[in-house]
């Protein structure tokens, strides 16, 4: 059953979608689309933030609301969905752990779309293994000097404010990482955009002895890994929601196409092979949606088991979306691979969510460890 909250958010997206689509090509491929970001800031981005920084909530956004927004934008315009989600991912470590000074300086601009945020965790040897971060942060008077390279960072090198994770204790693994709020364009910062299969704003960020004051430390020194995981706990289920939205778009297109496409003396939909494929697609999408909403509700209510449920939701939803989009292309045939077709776009877009914010393999490991931990609890 669709709740009033879901209906209202879907209507909000629907009223804005034509304007957002008109701005889709307002920036070169692979670079930050500031007109699109500004348009999102008028009505949609405030739904990610509390009123204290220009949003609409008393406190932080609920995971359920985040999932509803990401699913609907994923269904209608993946490029807008990604732009919106990255604002939250880059800004929430600041909201959760930043000083009042940094929060008030940056988050109102992030919430209204006049500043772009980024979450800079990944390095060449520290992607899924985030504890292997090597970017260094050394003390210098009343601040820190950051040096190193981040790769595959969304909104890099164009972001205005970065949440950057750097090593402050070389011998402490995940317990020696600190999170910093770092404005873009500081002396010693450089970077370049990557040319990706799907034209997202993704690139590398190089810091060469960049000074960051103590006031820009997020949370406690050497406790940055906790900052990262706290943010990912909120956003990981909504990656699954984004995948569900793309899968739903693929199913909608396929149902429409097979309903009128004629072959073998009748409509494609009348072939049992097609009927069964449509049924499997719809079944997978609904199951993925339920897993995503269950994980979101777990986060919102503070129930136990969030880590396992979030991993399950992201894993199942992203893997399901990949299969659904591939099946949709197969049922359409070659027409779906023409540049500009909705499925051609989805075919490129759907691949990345199985990698970022924890690969499918990492999610399986998380789930397995949680299952064994439950067994141990029963034994003891």
Distance CA(285)–CA(317), nearest Å, equals 7
Rounded to 5°, the CA angle 121-238-367 comes to 75
Q: What are phi and psi of 213, to 5 degrees?
A: -70, 160
Distance CA(319)–CA(347), nearest Å, equals 13
Check if 123 is active-site. Answer: no
Q: Position of tokens 């050497």?
A: 222
Give the chain's radius of gyration (CA, Å).
21
- DSSP assignment of 206-229 equals EEEEEEEEGGGEESSTT-HHHHHH
Catalytic residue selected from 125, 204, 357, 361: 357
Distance CA(204)–CA(212), nearest Å, equals 19
Sequence-distant (≥ 6) Cβ neighbours of residue 203 within 8 angstroms: 30, 153, 156, 157, 158, 191, 192, 193, 194
* Residues forming the active site: 357
């Amino acid at each position: 059953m669709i709740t009033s909250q879901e209906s209202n958010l879907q209507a909000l997206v629907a009223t804005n979608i034509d304007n957002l689509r008109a701005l889709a090509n307002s920036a070169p491929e692979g670079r930050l689309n500031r007109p699109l970001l500004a348009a999102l800031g008028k009505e949609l981005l405030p739904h990610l933030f509390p009123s204290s920084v220009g949003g609409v909530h008393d406190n932080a956004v609920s995971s359920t609301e985040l999932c509803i927004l990401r699913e609907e934008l994923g269904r209608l315009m993946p490029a807008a969905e990604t732009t919106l989600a990255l604002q939250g991912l880059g800004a929430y470590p600041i909201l959760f752990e930043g000083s009042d000074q940094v929060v008030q300086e940056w988050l109102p601009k992030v919430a209204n779309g006049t500043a772009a945020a980024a979450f800079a965790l990944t390095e060449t040897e520290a992607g899924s293994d985030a504890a292997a971060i090597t970017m260094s942060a050394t003390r210098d008077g009343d601040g820190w000097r950051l040096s190193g390279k981040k790769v595959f960072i969304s909104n890099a090198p164009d972001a205005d404010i970065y949440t950057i994770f750097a090593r402050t204790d070389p011998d402490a693994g995940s317990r020696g990482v600190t999170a910093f709020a770092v404005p873009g364009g500081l002396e010693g910062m450089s970077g370049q955009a990557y040319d990706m299969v799907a034209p997202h704003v993704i690139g590398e960020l190089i810091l060469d002895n960049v000074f960051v004051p103590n006031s820009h430390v997020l949370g406690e020194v050497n406790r940055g890994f906790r900052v990262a995981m706290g943010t990912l706990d909120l956003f990981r289920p909504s990656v699954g929601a984004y995948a569900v939205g793309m899968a739903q778009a693929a199913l909608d297109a396929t149902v429409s196409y097979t309903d009128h496409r004629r072959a073998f003396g009748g409509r494609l939909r009348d072939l049992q092979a097609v009927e069964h494929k449509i049924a499997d697609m719809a079944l997978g999408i609904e199951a993925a949606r339920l897993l995503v909403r269950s994980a979101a509700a777990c986060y919102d209510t503070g129930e136990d088991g969030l880590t396992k449920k979030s991993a399950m939701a992201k894993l199942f939803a992203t893997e399901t979306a990949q299969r659904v989009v591939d099946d949709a292309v197969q049922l359409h045939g070659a027409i779906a691979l023409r540049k500009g077709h909705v499925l051609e776009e989805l075919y490129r877009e759907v691949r990345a969510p199985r990698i970022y914010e924890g690969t499918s393999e990492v999610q399986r490991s998380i789930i397995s460890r949680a299952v064994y931990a439950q067994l141990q609890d029963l034994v003891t």
